[in-house]
Structures are given as structure tokens and as C-alpha cells.
Structure 1
């Protein structure tokens, strides 16, 4: 019998959302289109180590955002009342100076809103704890309203990142916690995905993923889902056991030349493992990078006390017809 215990705290879900017991890979296969021959032919895949002449950048900017639903609400007028989500969300950037071994949060902002399909002339909901403008959602379904919150959070992440960049600094790597999605056009930017829901690879390429040692990556390949990206898997240092433990999937823009994507993949090998968390400090170690964990704590503090915000929303709703 084989038994593996992940360091990742199960209260955060799982690093691999569903795994089969044969290879330890996510069991939910994907219908994404693949080009496995970007860096080397698929039949020649093997784990890759960083070239000796590749060094980490002087500066890494890591961007992340957090969100919270403060209350489920109803919004409307005399004839129509529709559901909504009152949500708070925040985004920030931590600047890591790898020459001086320092890190600081350089930009952080919080916003709030009521996300609902009812937007016809609805004024902002003003509470004692903050102002909630009424923002559009495609429908009153929870998934649609949640997607609207996520869209505004991503826009805020892009805004704080633009504020934090030093355009005069060429040796600067940008890392977004999560998929790139609509941010793929930004140069020298990586999307960092720390949990795995889909199995994209099979056969020899899949065996290369599970054979990776700490600090190694797979060859770069092209992945097409809703957005097409260059991507690769990287194994981080830390306690290892299950074949898919300590793995992150990294993305970069498909608009880059293939050689530029490969150079970024090499750069990720000498940069991201330096930020890997340890299990006694972080329940999502090693994938939850240390600068990101610190930024998340700062941002969640900025969101405010959820109980107080819920009370403030309740009191404000009682003062206004239909909650607006």
C-alpha cells in the first residue's frame, strides 16, 4: 500500500482537486488544444534544469487580489426586485528586491460594490463602513454575480500593477497569482497557478511531470482553452511524496516568440523556488509563495471586519427602499 500526506492544509481544498490512484494526476481530463512541440518534440520530453548562465532578475513584482462576499442583497424599485452580492475586494503588489533580499508592499487598494443585474438608476449604497456602488452582473445567478466580482478584481489587479511598474527597469519580472487570462499582453509577466483541476497531459509528457525534481520544469508547451498561453510545470522545493506534490503550472503570453517564452521558463526556475513557503509557516506550502502569503494577509486586513460590514449593510438597507 502507498500512502501520501500532502503538506497543503485540507481546509484550503487541495493542491490537486481530484486525483486518480494510478499516476496521482488530476483525473478530470481537459478538452484544451495542445502543441507539445514548442521547445522540443513531445517524444523527446524530459525534465529540464536551469542553464548555468541564467540568473534571477534584480526585481520581481508579485500581484494578487482577495475578495469576500459581505452580504447577499436584493436590489430594485417599485416594480422589480433582483438579487445581488455586496462584496469587498482588494489588490496589491509586493516588490521583491532580490539583490538586497528585501520585500515590501508598494501598492494596495480596496474597493466595494453591489453586483446585480438591476442597475437602472440605482444609487450607491452608502454605509457607515464604506460606499458600495451598484455594478452590473449578467444575471441574478450566483455564478454570474460572482464572475462580475472577479472581473472587477482582475481590473483592480491590473491597475495596481501598472502603478507599481518601473518602466525604466528592464530586469524586472512580473508574477500574477493565478492564470493570466486577459493580462497576457503584459511583457515579462508570468501567471502562477498553484492548484490543478484538469489533466492536460498524457503519455510520456505526463510521466515527465511526475518525474520532475525540485527546481526542474517540463518543456514549454502551448495550451489553448478560453485563452491560449505558453505554459510549463515547475516543481518547487519542499517535503515531497505524491507524484503531483509541490507542483505549480506557469503561464506566459502566447504573443511572445517561442524563444522568449522558453527564456521566461528558464527564468522561472531560478526565481520562483526562492519564494517557496515552508510547511511549518504556511498550510499551503510550498506552492503559496511567501511574498504572496504576506500580501494576502495585508489585503484581508484592508477588507475590514466582515461582521461589522454585514451589520453596516443591514442598517443601510433598512434606511433605503429595496436596499438602495
Structure 2
């Protein structure tokens, strides 16, 4: 037997479990309440029992973003122009049910983001970029401001689409900023921090496909219920096929346990396959398909870049 294993994800992506998470195992500063579903000392893999069914319809929401150009924005309060970004972003919802998956809704938006309050609306021959505000001119803050717009677009889309339905909604990524949405779960594919102490983390590694950990409550800068689930996977690496799910901290324990069981049944049939997706199985088939469709709807980046250049010279 060799002394190493190969992470199943394509090396062009971060590993499913980041190295820093392994080195900090058990050292997280997050607030943890481990006995939501069962005592911490009695943690073991959970497989949904009889009487639990997957949701009849599962809505999957995702968003994508792309920087079309770096820009400089004139500012009356500064002797120098301020850096910014012109970005395109999109969000969509896929409806998964007994008959398969179909696109429910999609929306594309564009923004010119800077720290300047004087950022203009930029109209080009191919698209209009509406002004957006960042806290400062650092690339980190510009990126955060863009991500907030992506999240808000996903929220708006979900609220509009679910005005007449109470279907379970799975959002790709943490639930932050969307905890107010009813019947909604965040889905995290990559693990940068090992939140659980060693005894409970060992339960994660011991999960078989189709099993989950007990539900626990965690708090960093915000609070939420969470659990880990393993999807079907051929790799033997400790966290291969592991995803983390998040639900509102306002839910009663019985509600979130039921939700966790339903999703544990619903997710394996949607798992990505490694010969089609380098982030399989965590990158669910509906998410992978929606990401490709959304990127296509962002438009040709070279065309948009040239249009922005032309507009800036006008």
C-alpha cells in the first residue's frame, strides 16, 4: 500500500478538504452545540429510516460572476481616479422532480463597482453596467461587493419564483444572507475550516454514502444549524464526497432533523460523476449544468471588454 492518496477533485480546483483545515482540526473558534439531535458522546453516522421521503420537488439555486474589465472611476473627492471593476453576474433556479430537472428561471445583471459615490451608469452597445458601491478600493472589497450583488440576485429570484410554492430550496454555498428564506438549505462543497472536535470529526470520516452526521448548531459571525453528508464516491480519501448543509438557526430541532433526513435521501441521485465533472460528486448535476448555462448567458467576455473600452473613450 502506498503512503498517499490522491484527492478526487481536479488539481485545478482547491481540494475538497483544504490542508489548513486538517492542520487546525479541533482548533476552531466557532461556537458549537453538538447535542441538538443526540448527545455529543453518542455521535454516530445517521441513515434516514422508514417514514422519511425525499422532497417531491427540490429547487436548486446558484449564481456565477465574472469580471469583464478593471476600471478607474473619477472621484470629485479624490485627486486620483479610484480603481473598480465592471462585472457580469447571473443567477438561476433549476426545478428537480420525478420527471427530471428543468430550468425554472434565470436572470443576468451587470455592475460597475467602486468605492466612489460618483460611479456612473455605463451604457455600451451590448450591455448596461449599473453603479455599485464597495467599502474601499481594495480588490478584496470590490470582490465582496460583487458577491453581495450575486447573493441578492439569487434571493430576489428565489422570492419571486417561490411566491406561490413552498418547495424546498437548495442554494449553492453558505446560507449567509439567505437565512430569512423559508424552507431553504445552504450547500457547501469545499471545506476550508474543520469546525468539529476530533471525536465528532471522526464520525464525518466514517460516513458511508447516503449517511449524515447528527445535526449540530454552529456560530461564527452568524448562527446556523449544520450537518455533513457523504455522497456516492469511489475515492478512499477521508473527506471525499463530503458536503456540509446549513439551515436556519430558528428552526426547531425536530424540523431541522426532518429536513436533514429528506436531503440525505434527495442528494445522492443528484451527485456529479467524475468523468463529467472535476468536482464530483459534491458538484451536483443540477448545479454543474446550471453553472454552464449561466456562464453562457453572461455573454462573450471579449465582446463586452471591447464595448467597455469603446464606451470609456466616448
Q: Same fold (TM over 0.5)?
A: yes
Q: Counterpart of 1:52 in 2: which secondary structure?
A: coil
Q: Counterpart of 1:143 in 2: which secondary structure?
A: helix
Equivalent residue for 1:41? 39
Equivalent residue for 1:322? none
Q: Counterpart of 1:262 in 2: which secondary structure?
A: helix
d(CA) in 2 for partners of 1:190, 1:198 = 19
Answer yes or no: is the 8 Å Cα contact 1:26–1:197 preserved in 2: no
Q: Counterpart of 1:304 in 2: which secondary structure?
A: coil
d(CA) in 2 for partners of 1:64, 1:26 = 31
Q: CA deviation at 1:183?
A: 0.7
- Asked whether 1:144 is paired with 2:138, we answer no
| Residue from 158, 171, 183 that aligns with 1:161 | 158
Equivalent residue for 1:302? 297
Q: CA deviation at 1:6?
A: 2.2
Q: Are the structure 2 counterparts of residues 239 and 19 from structure 1 closer, same or farther at C-alpha, using a change threshold of 3 Å?
A: farther
- Asked whether 1:87 is paired with 2:87, we answer yes
Answer yes or no: is the 8 Å Cα contact 1:137–1:145 preserved in 2: yes
Equivalent residue for 2:18? 17
Equivalent residue for 1:30? 28
Map 1:1-324 onto structure 2 (within 5 A): 1-18=2-19, 25=22, 27=24, 29-77=27-75, 79-97=79-97, 99-100=98-99, 102-120=100-118, 122-165=119-162, 167=164, 169-170=165-166, 172-319=167-314
**Given the two structures, how large is their TM-score scaled by the length of structure 1?**
0.92
d(CA) in 2 for partners of 1:304, 1:240 = 36
The C-alpha deviation readout for 1:129-150, integer Å capped at 9, x for no partner, is: 2011121111101111111100
d(CA) in 1 for partners of 2:124, 2:117 = 19
Equivalent residues, number = 310
Deviates more, 1:284-293 or 1:202-211: 202-211
Q: Are the structure 2 counterparts of residues 245 and 118 from structure 1 closer, same or farther at C-alpha, using a change threshold of 3 Å?
A: same
CA RMSD of the aligned region, Å? Answer: 1.5
Q: CA deviation at 1:287?
A: 0.3
Q: Are the structure 2 counterparts of residues 94 and 164 from structure 1 closer, same or farther at C-alpha, using a change threshold of 3 Å?
A: same
Q: CA deviation at 1:215?
A: 0.5
The C-alpha deviation readout for 1:155-187, integer Å capped at 9, x for no partner, is: 0001111222263x45x2110000000111222
- Which sections of structure 2, spanning at least 5 residues, go unmatched? none
Answer yes or no: is the 8 Å Cα contact 1:221–1:231 preserved in 2: yes
Q: CA deviation at 1:19?
A: 5.6
Deviates more, 1:228-237 or 1:155-164: 155-164
